[in-house]
Amino acid sequence: MPTSEQNPQSSTEGTTPNDALKNDAAGQPDNPQLSAKEQFTVVALVVSAMIISMFIIIAWWPADPTTNKNALYLNKPFHVRPIAPAGNETKSADGKPKATVADTIVILTKKLAEQQKHSETLAKDTNPDSVKALEVLKKVIEETQNALKKLKDKQEALEHICAAKCVRKECPGSSEKICTIQLGNLLLILVAAAGFLGNLIHVSRSLTFYIGMKRFQRSWYPWYIIKPFTASGLALLIYFATNGTSGSGTTDQGAPINLTAIMLTAGLVGLFTDIATQKLKVIFEAILKPADTHSGAGNAASPQPAAKAATVDMNKVSPEKIDAKGVNHVKIPGQNLNLKNLIITINNQVIDKSTITITATEISFDYAPADATATEFVLSVKDAAANLDAKKTWTIV
């Protein structure tokens, strides 16, 4: 049973399941609830989607992931394994097209027919040279027959492999690579499926809770439908952001791909989409951090306006004279005063900032002289960053 702190909030317009889950449902009006048939349909859809996601992950989990994301893997459920590096099946070492087993059999069959025809001609000739040539030719024919037999045995084995959907170019009626998949593409499929499955776990928890508490809102249907697909796309973005590749298709570190870590990350991204979105935002801001507009020439960023200078009019400071034995209400007029870190002193005594009120056009504070015998007071307003240094000398009343 859900705990008391999980009771949903009233389903007001615009409230999402995530928002409602954080609030109390007490005292809220009843909402039209799902019928038994609708509940069964919803549960069946969620369970089916989870089974499909898990089937994809389990059935297409590759054996022995390598560093090369261009490596070809057998695209057969529960038998996904590397078969050969990309390109080795159709090209020879010199880069020229490589003859298939079927092509070689045809060539050797024609060659054997020609050799046998030639041997029949030599057999009719009793010339000693022809007899010697015939003996040599018989050995060549025997070698050709042996090679042809080996190729036919290989072709027969390939036919069994093709029947099991292990595709090679030599498979009759099959096009090249029809049942193979690159490791990089396979990883994208698995990451998307893991993100989808992770969010389905969240969706199933939310659904069972709200249906059980009789607080489910039909207006939430789009949220439940779209959210797993959003999580799947987000898992791919996180994968792109955290698993860089070089131009050769290998990992930057040159180490075998840690598929378990990749899938775990994708699943957690689906389960905690909000946290993953914030993480992606941090990565994005780090990559596309705005350049310093004051870094010098060649900066492509648009120029920023210079900071406004703070100014004070010491001629209009009030009061005009200081009462050495009382409290003086000091007011200093100026411009842009609230944008600066000002330091105000009287007779080299710093005025406490907590007692000063600063607006854009005025500085005001109360001042009671510590030395009642002083006959002159020097007011100073400074801001080192803006090179502001204004002074005024007061006499006593």
Degrees to nearest 5, angle at CA 108 with 106 and 114 = 105
Higher pLDDT, 322 or 384: 322
Q: Which long-range contacts (CB under 8 A, 24 or more apart) does 249-256 make?
A: 249/68, 249/69, 249/70, 249/184, 250/67, 250/68, 250/69, 251/67, 251/69, 254/67, 255/67, 256/65, 256/66, 256/67
Cα–Cα distance for residue pair 30/27, rounded to 1 Å: 9
Find, among 290, 66, 304, the residue nearest to 184 by Cα: 66
DSSP 164: T
Question: What average pLDDT does the segment 6-19 reach?
Answer: 41
- CATH superfamily assigned to domain 311-395: Immunoglobulins (2.60.40.10)
DSSP structural state of residue 9 = P
Q: Which has the closest alpha carbon to 381: 372, 390, 393? A: 390
- Token pair, residue 266, equals 């994708």
Confidence category of residue 202, pLDDT binned at 50, 70, 90: very high
319 cis-preceded (ω within 30 degrees of 0) = yes
Tokens of 295: 């870094």
Sketch the domain layout of the chain as residue ranges. Answer: 4-56+181-285, 90-175, 311-395
For residue 229, which of 280, 195, 203 has the smallest C-alpha distance? 195
Length of the chain: 397
**Which of 200, 168, 214, 187 lies closest to 269, judged by CA?**
200
Tokens of 384: 């080192």
C-alpha neighbours within 13 Å on the C-beta side of residue 215: 25
Read off the pLDDT of residues 134-191 as tens digits, 9 standing for 90 and up: 888 888 889 989 988 888 877 776 665 555 444 444 455 544 445 788 888 999 999 9
Higher pLDDT, 189 or 9: 189
| Confidence class for position 212, pLDDT limits 50, 70, 90 | confident
CA distance 243 to 237: 10
Which one-letter DSSP state was computed for residue 373? T
Percent of the chain with pLDDT over 70: 73
**In this predicted model, which residue has the larger pLDDT, 251 or 157?**
157
Q: Which residues contact 372 (CB under 8 A, 6 or more apart)?
A: 324, 325
- Give yes or no for a contact between 338 and 360, defined as CB atoms under 8 angstroms apart: yes
221-242 vs 273-287: helix axis angle to the nearest 10?
A: 40
Query: What is the rounded distance in angstroms from the CA atom of residue 237 to the CA atom of residue 222?
Result: 22
- At 18, which helix (H) or strand (E)? helix 17-20
Tokens of 205: 């928890």
Does residue 359 contact residue 323 with C-beta atoms inside 8 Å?
no
Residue 146: exposure state from Cβ atoms within 10 A (0-12, 13-18, ≥19) = exposed
Average pLDDT of the segment spanning 114-125: 85
Choice between 5 and 327, residue whose per-residue pLDDT is larger: 327
Residue holding tokens 């069959």?
A: 109
> What is the spatial distance between Cα 55 and Cα 59, in angstroms, rounded to a whole number?
6
- pLDDT, tens digit, 9 for 90 and up, residues 308-366: 778 888 888 999 888 888 889 999 998 888 766 888 898 888 888 888 888 888 999 99
* Both structure tokens of 291: 């350049």
